[in-house]
Each structure stands twice: as structure tokens, then as C-alpha cells.
């Protein structure tokens, strides 16, 4: 009986919104940690590569080589799929519930961030795949100069190609918009939002988006300007 109720909850509109909120929190945590790690590149090749190798030894000696890293990867991948599933099914449900095309679109009810969520999400998915191919997997036809065990040089090589660096900056711009709208929405969904503090939460969500955008963009910009080489 309890299992049936739980399943019914997660199939409901509220349940799927909760899934989006919780998986969104996981994503925000990962993005902040990843940004923090990326900024270590400003400390030089040795420091950055040592940090990257240290990630593979997290939890040692209790956990084996890369075990903690793989746990985090599975949690992140599961969260991404659950987030996309919830967003897609909610979008389909909303479309079916719409009685017909509106004569006048109520654009005032949706800001630019919310209107770009769908296409921004698709762009981020493509970006994530390319990013993994370039800096994690070293896919031959995507990056020509990949050096296993040398993430510092791989970052420099990747962002020295200006089109890639520009695409990266555009993608993190969409990520910022996604986090702005999603950050405010998840607070509302989880019941943490007191109407009196709605403006404050929106400001904090905007600050989060701005920090993420600057924190990620500064690396390719530094490489393009020759500040990191």
C-alpha cells in the first residue's frame, strides 16, 4: 500500500516538481564544486594536475582508486536523467492541458530565463557531451592534442581554440539563466519560500547565476588572453 502511494506521488505533478527540485539541488552542488575546482588552474600546472589526481583518491584508504568519483558520477547522471524526465513529462502535461492557442501570448507572465529553459537545457546537454569528449574522454575526432594525465594542458589546448572557448562561454551563460529560474523555482517547490521574501530569493538566485557565469567564463577568457598558458 505504501509503495503504491509513493509511486503515485512521484507520478503526480507535485511529485515530479519535487524530483526536479531535489535533482536541481544536486546539480547546483556539483556545478559549484566543479567551478571551484576549475579555478585552481590559476595556481599553475603542478597544483592543478595534483588536484585532479587527488579527486581519484577521494575516500582513501577506505575507498579504492576512483570509487568515490564513480559514486558521484552515478549520482549526477541519475539526477540529470530524473531532472530531464520530470521536466519533459511536466511540459507534455502542460501542453495537453492547454485548451487551445492563446490569442494573445502572456509574455509578461514569463521572464526571459523561463522562456529559454527548454532550449537552454538542450544546449547544455550538447555542451556537457562535448565537454566530456574534450576534457575527460579525449575523443579523437573532437580534440586532437589530448594528453592523458595532464588536465592542465588539455584545458589550455581546448580553450586556445577560440570557437570552442566562445561556445563554452555562451553555454555557461545559458547555465546561469537555467540556475536563476531553477534556483527560485526549487525554493518555491520545496516550500521554503515565504511570499514576503520572494524578492530576496530572486536576488539570491540572480547572484548565484552571476557567480556561476563569471566563475566558469573566467578560465576560457584567461586562456584566450594568454593569462594562463
Domain extents in the chain: 2-224
Which ranges of the chain does DSSP label H, i.e. alpha helix? Answer: 2-11, 13-38, 45-55, 67-97, 112-115, 117-135, 151-159, 162-189, 198-224
Tens digit of each residue's pLDDT (9 = 90 or more) over 49-87: 999 889 888 888 888 888 998 898 899 888 888 888 887
Q: Give me the CATH topology for the region 2-224.
A: 3 helical TM bundles of succinate and fumarate reductases (1.20.1300)
Tens digit of each residue's pLDDT (9 = 90 or more) over 143-191: 667 788 888 998 998 899 899 899 899 989 988 888 888 777 777 776 6
Amino acid at each position: 500500500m505504501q509503495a503504491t502511494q509513493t509511486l503515485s506521488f512521484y507520478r503526480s505533478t507535485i511529485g515530479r516538481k519535487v524530483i526536479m527540485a531535489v535533482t536541481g539541488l544536486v546539480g547546483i552542488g556539483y556545478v559549484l564544486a566543479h567551478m571551484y575546482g576549475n579555478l585552481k588552474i590559476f595556481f599553475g600546472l603542478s597544483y592543478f594536475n595534483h588536484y585532479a589526481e587527488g579527486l581519484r583518491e577521494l575516500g582513501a584508504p577506505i575507498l579504492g582508486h576512483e570509487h568515490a568519483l564513480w559514486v558521484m558520477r552515478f549520482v549526477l547522471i541519475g539526477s540529470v536523467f530524473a531532472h530531464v524526465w520530470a521536466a519533459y513529462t511536466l511540459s507534455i502535461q502542460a501542453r495537453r492541458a492547454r485548451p487551445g492557442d492563446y490569442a494573445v501570448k502572456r509574455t509578461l507572465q514569463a521572464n526571459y530565463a523561463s522562456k529559454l529553459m527548454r532550449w537552454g537545457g538542450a544546449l547544455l546537454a550538447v555542451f556537457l557531451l562535448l565537454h566530456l569528449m574534450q576534457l575527460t574522454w579525449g575523443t579523437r575526432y573532437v580534440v586532437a592534442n589530448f594528453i592523458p594525465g595532464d588536465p592542465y594542458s588539455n584545458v589550455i589546448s581546448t580553450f586556445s581554440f577560440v570557437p570552442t572557448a566562445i561556445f563554452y562561454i555562451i553555454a555557461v551563460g545559458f547555465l546561469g539563466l537555467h540556475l536563476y529560474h531553477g534556483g527560485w523555482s526549487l525554493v518555491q517547490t520545496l516550500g521554503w519560500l515565504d511570499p514576503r521574501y520572494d524578492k530576496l530569493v530572486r536576488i539570491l538566485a540572480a547572484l548565484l547565476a552571476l557567480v556561476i557565469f563569471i566563475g566558469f567564463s573566467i578560465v576560457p577568457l584567461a586562456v584566450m588572453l594568454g593569462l594562463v598558458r
